[in-house]
Structure 1
Amino acid sequence: MQAHSAAGDSVLPRGRKARAVLAVLALSAPRPVARDFLWRLLWSSRQPEQGRASLRQSLHELHACLLPLGPDILRIGRGSVSLNPDRAQTDLRFLSQVAPDDAAADACAPVELGRLLADLAGLDPAFERWREAESERLRRTARAAAEAALSLQTGYTARLAAAERLLAIQQDHEPAWRAMIDAHIALGDRAAALAAYERCTTVLADLAGRTPAAETCDLLARLRAPSRTGAGRNGSGQSRRGVRLGVAPLRALDGHDAALSLGLADEITASLARFRWIATIAGRTSGDEPDALEPAGRDVDFLLDGTLQRGGGRVRVLVRLLDQRAEGEVVWAHRFDRCAADLLNVQDEIAAEIAAQVDPELLLREGARAAGDSAADPSAYQLVLKAVPAIYRLDEGGFRRAGDALQAAVARDPGYAAAHAWWACWHVFLAGQGWADAADAARAAELAERAVALDPADARALTIAGHVRGFLQRHPDEAAALHDRALALNPNLPMAWVFSGLGEAYAGRHEEALRRIRSYQRLSRFDPHGFFYETALMVPHLFRGEHEEVEAIARKVAPLKPGFASTLRIQLAALGHLGRAEAAAEVRGRLLRLEPRFSIAETIARTPLARAQDRALYAEGLRRAGLPE
């Protein structure tokens, strides 16, 4: 729960019961709420006189918080309390409106209804019952509005966005799944349509315990029908949101490992399918070529193939990523050597590492292709691809242009979860570099929540939302829940391990932080974005007093990304504790050139560190390193 003035300042009470009173008033507005209802809701186990006294205390606290906004915003009467509807608005105020166009529909979309007032859970059994009932009421209202909005859309792109909004409210809404699949087919993106059908099947089985209806199966038959034109086979540039990746069965060099070859290919396919933007096409044997893809499998942007051999109790797997749009150019290759004692574990490990390493390579390759495309009217997907590499380069001019591209992508396709997630990630780096203000932090939260609402099963969107919650909003428990869900959905995503590890470090759980962040090294030791992940390792090491280790990592990372302010800040604190004045002076100078106003007071004011001893250790290290107060 958050409450802000028009200027963006927080006006949220400190007490959870006072927050709950504000929540009930906001969700009931403009209707007044009886005082007897409030005390019975929040102090249900107390005697009436005690309950009324506790309510008076919470109302006094709430009044003090809201008074700077004006004396008439909170109306307290003898028998009831209300918020002035002309002075207070909630983010759910448009919930019941049917949006006539995409822009309005984006504004009307609900924000994470399933987590309504999650930070107030457990206050009182009566409040819990009210919270559950209110969540269901809001969900019904939002669903009805979203269903009406979907029925009004005529264009396929608009229907696709409307279907996604409806599925964000009710994941097993089968008519919305049909609308999404049908729109993808009409727009020529057969891979996205097939992926949507598979997601629909999984969701219906998991949540409703049933299989798709006949109307949905008819769409699958349309998908399997031969494409009439070659133009639509990969999806148009305007409609597609990802790449098609074929996975060929590995070629067994000794000719006796066909089962292992197929099993490993299936594991790789399943691991890559966890990345929402990658549509995986599994290869199958065909005719006399046991390792060849069927003809339909050749209709891909990239192909993953390789060889498998065994000897001396070892398994060796060599895998290549080929760009099919560049005449099979090898984009990435890696060799994996494992002990053959546990072949199932070998399959799991190799598949996980391949998935973790292929994802960033595809992002870089597609980003370079998008950057070289001079199309006058790029799609939202192309705009995102252009922006992502520039986020990590961190030169301010290119970084700002990346933000502009992501803003344009969100405007062009309001239902595109990845565009919202990457724009939220851009805001995180903006803050990390010291270039952000309070409005930017609020915008990051809005974008992250919107991304999760649009696609609750997108692990990257979830972990970015978790990092926003932990790093910018300082809600470590909420952040941890989002990170854990992201890792459950995609344990092969290095970003999720690193962001969740940082969340643990912010909360003061430094041993667990190290364990999580080191998981990225197991998956993708030479990740293209390793400078950020290695910097994350410095955080728990610093607060465990391992300052030499911090300095060693910094010396390795700094040459890769000399303008990354986070590396310099943590390194400076470690150098202060080590008493290395000369080295500290050099790092301090570089940091102050990036952030001229950087000081101890500013650092502590914006740090996400939850424990007082961690904040004190950080400040003392910076102080010893010569940073001004």
Structure 2
Amino acid sequence: MLTPPDNPLLHIFLLGHMRVQSSTGLSLLPTGTKTKALLAILALSNRRPVARTRLAELLWSRRAPEQARASLRQEIHRLMDVLHPLGPEVLDVQRHTLAIRPGLTDIDIEHVFRTTPQTVMALPDPLPPLLEDLSAVDPGFATWLEEERNRLLDYKTAQLEALLASTTEPATIMAATRRLLRLNPLNECAWRAYIQAAMHSKEESTALLGAEHCLRAFSHTIAATPGQETMRLIAEVYATHQQNTRGAHGALLPLPHAPSALSHSPVADDPLRLLRATVFLSCPTADCTTKNVALAERFRDELGLDMAMHGVLDISVQSECLTAPPFQSLPSRRQWDFLVGITITGSSEGKTTCLLQAFDTRLNDTIVWGHRLSLTPTSLRALSSRFASALILSLFTTEARRLASVPVAALSPFGMGLRALTLSMRADPRLHDTIERLMAEAQRRAPENPFLFFVRAHSLLIRMYDEWHMPVADYIQPMVTMLKQNFTLFPGDIAARYLLSTGLFYANQPDEARFLLAQMHAALPTDSPMSMLALPDGLDALCQGDAVAASRIYTAFFDTAPNVPLFSAPDQEFILSCFLAEQYEETLRHARGILATSPDRSAILVPALAAANMLGHQSLAQDYRQRLHRLHTPLCASAMEGHYAYLPAHLRQKLCHALHLTQP
């Protein structure tokens, strides 16, 4: 985060009602809602350039791209007019991007993001809502604003939790936990710290009251009890209270109402613990034909099999077709963490339409993911492959969110692996050390957990894309060796087979990779772009030098929802294949979309820079080059040769030529 300017020309206030003032106190707040929203997006972008395409999507999501861009140009002119004569001093307007310049502007939200565990208590409590008066701008803006509010909430929560981890002063702990619990009443870390601080200060009544409030919060919000560690602490509080309140004849005085779970002995952590889910089919309407039901039953069975073959979940399938909601028809549903339901909603022209949903049984059967789809006999296998991966990723994401407030020391090996997986998906090099520590401790405690093995291989593959200081083949070979060892133990594990075939391509062992890929096609016979096998197919085409075919395969895959795969993020190969197929405008268009949310992806920036050079977009190329320099990505021929050694020589030469690199 940049340091604040000494003499700012402009002050932008985003907390509460938006305000914009010059250094003399003159209000420069735009009158138009869209103009305000435009300035707000730029002010919350950490002074980084924001692509015009991204701005247009956020502010005019329901308009055609050409109309949205035209409207954006008008709003830019309005914003420059409002800020006149300060506009050129504070705004950097380029052909493809906009940004607030690093100096001469003070933004209140940046002060919040500069707080540390030692200074977070100086913030107002509660903070005024972010952009309180800018809610009805556009659906795209509303989604973005919700994400920004969550980012602010997550940052403040992280600083308060870090303060709890670094202080032993009871008064500070009590004050910090009160703030945390106002932010999230289900933060178990805060509840434990609050109760422990009260007990340490000999305030038994405060500890008991905290225990009661904790139990009530979980009961009223999610109809469940807190986790095992919190319940053990609450049991200790009640046990201490019992000892201190015995009557003269040894009788116990009445206790606060404790849930029955307190009487259960804690269950030891299972080192082989996996998430548990069951797949069921529901046909609530009477007009479901036998043909519709038969097709949906095939999809249910294939989906359950595909999810099980990944080897990272405990999966079962309910064989009967339910007519009542599963929450009534599955009385033992609490034995599963998630229910995956396929509900037939109709049929037309030989298609069976279904609603595919995932429910969290521990959150009162809340829907955590859903998608509508149409089944046909020819698309069924491809859809099963694709949605198995999408569902697994969704369940992992939901579980990771549920465990987000749990401190690392309280996580099970599975929880540590889950946190490492979600961190690795951010593709942020700054998180590599944290991921390594999580995986080392998790695998030390559970060396045979198949989920941890998957996370380890997956994180290495993700990290490979940011490794530019050694040849990719050398970096990836230890992962390939590890996967081969696992493959002999679990030959039916589709996740291991997928990761191994991908790693073999990068390790310059294409014959072995194609042999495994052929086996997967035989087990999951489909050439459809909807299938997850489209991703290694695209990499195979790229390694054979057919960038046009690779680009076509990746484009078809990413144009079909859901387009977020479970495995390694292949969007870098998508962007690379677009460039190598000489689709330069498409390269930049797709790259901008990725970089808008993940601006430090070097594997995206390199082909994007090459495309910008080929199109003569000098300002954009300079921006990408500066980002790569900041990321310490070596822009030299030897680094390109090592990083893209899996490509044929003529494709590497094309990339080096576009990057203006002289090959040895």
Give TM class, smaller chain.
0.5 to 0.7
Letter in 2 for 1:422: V
In 2, Cα distance between equivalents of 1:546 and 1:475: 28
- Counterpart of 1:456? 491
- Counterpart of 1:485? 519
Alpha-carbon contact 2:284-2:324 (below 8 Å) kept: no
Change in CA separation of 1:531 and 1:286 when aligned onto 2, cut-off 3 Å: closer
In 2, Cα distance between equivalents of 1:255 and 1:289: 15
Please report how far the alpha carbon of residue 594 of structure 1 lies from its aligned counterpart in structure 2 after TM superposition.
0.8
- Give the counterpart of 1:368 among 398, 401, 413: 401
- Counterpart of 1:336? 373
- Counterpart of 1:115? none
Change in CA separation of 1:484 and 1:370 when aligned onto 2, cut-off 3 Å: farther
In 2, Cα distance between equivalents of 1:599 and 1:284: 58
In 2, Cα distance between equivalents of 1:554 and 1:274: 33
In 1, Cα distance between equivalents of 2:357 and 2:447: 36
Please report how far the alpha carbon of residue 236 of structure 1 lies from its aligned counterpart in structure 2 after TM superposition.
6.1
- Counterpart of 2:573? 536
- Counterpart of 2:339? 303
SS at match of 2:406: coil
Alpha-carbon contact 2:468-2:643 (below 8 Å) kept: no
Give matches, 1:249-398, under 5 Å.
249-257=281-289, 259-260=293-294, 261-285=296-320, 289=324, 293-296=329-332, 299-310=335-346, 312-313=348-349, 315-337=352-374, 343-345=376-378, 347-348=380-381, 350-374=383-407, 376=409, 378-398=411-431
Please report how far the alpha carbon of residue 414 of structure 1 lies from its aligned counterpart in structure 2 after TM superposition.
3.0
Please report how far the alpha carbon of residue 554 of structure 1 lies from its aligned counterpart in structure 2 after TM superposition.
1.0
Change in CA separation of 1:318 and 1:419 when aligned onto 2, cut-off 3 Å: same
Cα deviation 1:357-387 (Å, max 9, x = unaligned)? 2121012122223443347464432221111
- Counterpart of 1:466? 501
Letter in 2 for 1:256: C
SS at match of 1:508: coil
Q: Percent identity?
A: 19
- Give the counterpart of 1:475 among 490, 502, 509: 509
Q: How many residues align?
A: 392
Bigger relative contact order (CA 8 A; separation at least 6): 2
1:245 aligns with 2:280: no
SS at match of 2:570: helix
- Give the counterpart of 1:410 among 443, 446, 451: 443
Change in CA separation of 1:383 and 1:437 when aligned onto 2, cut-off 3 Å: farther
Structure 2 residue runs without a partner (length 5+): 1-262
Please report how far the alpha carbon of residue 288 of structure 1 lies from its aligned counterpart in structure 2 after TM superposition.
8.1
1:430 aligns with 2:463: yes
Letter in 2 for 1:300: W
Cα deviation 1:419-440 (Å, max 9, x = unaligned)? 2343233223333213665775
Change in CA separation of 1:296 and 1:353 when aligned onto 2, cut-off 3 Å: same
Please report how far the alpha carbon of residue 606 of structure 1 lies from its aligned counterpart in structure 2 after TM superposition.
3.1
Change in CA separation of 1:346 and 1:569 when aligned onto 2, cut-off 3 Å: closer
TM-score (norm 2): 0.52
Change in CA separation of 1:441 and 1:533 when aligned onto 2, cut-off 3 Å: closer
Please report how far the alpha carbon of residue 279 of structure 1 lies from its aligned counterpart in structure 2 after TM superposition.
2.5
SS at match of 2:309: coil
1:566 aligns with 2:600: no
1:617 aligns with 2:649: no
Change in CA separation of 1:346 and 1:429 when aligned onto 2, cut-off 3 Å: closer
Alpha-carbon contact 2:307-2:388 (below 8 Å) kept: yes
Alpha-carbon contact 1:511-1:540 (below 8 Å) kept: yes
Structure 1 residue runs without a partner (length 5+): 1-229
Please report how far the alpha carbon of residue 283 of structure 1 lies from its aligned counterpart in structure 2 after TM superposition.
1.9
Change in CA separation of 1:497 and 1:366 when aligned onto 2, cut-off 3 Å: farther
Give matches, 1:597-616, under 5 Å.
597-616=634-653
SS at match of 2:355: strand
Worse-superposed segment, 347-356 or 560-569: 347-356
In 2, Cα distance between equivalents of 1:486 and 1:370: 34
In 1, Cα distance between equivalents of 2:646 and 2:381: 36
SS at match of 1:333: strand
In 2, Cα distance between equivalents of 1:266 and 1:389: 28
In 2, Cα distance between equivalents of 1:511 and 1:415: 42
In 1, Cα distance between equivalents of 2:441 and 2:469: 19
Give matches, 1:35-54, under 5 Å.
none
Change in CA separation of 1:554 and 1:628 when aligned onto 2, cut-off 3 Å: farther
1:586 aligns with 2:628: no
Please report how far the alpha carbon of residue 484 of structure 1 lies from its aligned counterpart in structure 2 after TM superposition.
3.6
Give matches, 1:98-117, under 5 Å.
none
TM-score (norm 1): 0.55
In 1, Cα distance between equivalents of 2:469 and 2:647: 21
Alpha-carbon contact 1:241-1:277 (below 8 Å) kept: no
SS at match of 2:311: coil
Cα deviation 1:304-355 (Å, max 9, x = unaligned)? 22432335535321222100111111100111246xxxx4336445544432
Please report how far the alpha carbon of residue 583 of structure 1 lies from its aligned counterpart in structure 2 after TM superposition.
1.5
Change in CA separation of 1:522 and 1:355 when aligned onto 2, cut-off 3 Å: farther
SS at match of 2:278: strand
Please report how far the alpha carbon of residue 620 of structure 1 lies from its aligned counterpart in structure 2 after TM superposition.
0.2
In 1, Cα distance between equivalents of 2:521 and 2:469: 28
- Counterpart of 1:498? 535
1:443 aligns with 2:478: yes
- Counterpart of 1:111? none
Letter in 2 for 1:446: T
In 1, Cα distance between equivalents of 2:487 and 2:508: 19
Change in CA separation of 1:605 and 1:269 when aligned onto 2, cut-off 3 Å: closer
- Counterpart of 2:149? none
Please report how far the alpha carbon of residue 525 of structure 1 lies from its aligned counterpart in structure 2 after TM superposition.
3.4
Greater helix proportion: 1
Change in CA separation of 1:606 and 1:264 when aligned onto 2, cut-off 3 Å: closer
Alpha-carbon contact 2:381-2:525 (below 8 Å) kept: no
Alpha-carbon contact 1:502-1:539 (below 8 Å) kept: no
In 2, Cα distance between equivalents of 1:516 and 1:581: 30
Cα deviation 1:532-578 (Å, max 9, x = unaligned)? 33332122222222222212211222112111111101111122222
Alpha-carbon contact 2:587-2:611 (below 8 Å) kept: yes
Please report how far the alpha carbon of residue 530 of structure 1 lies from its aligned counterpart in structure 2 after TM superposition.
10
- Counterpart of 2:452? 419
Alpha-carbon contact 1:323-1:329 (below 8 Å) kept: yes
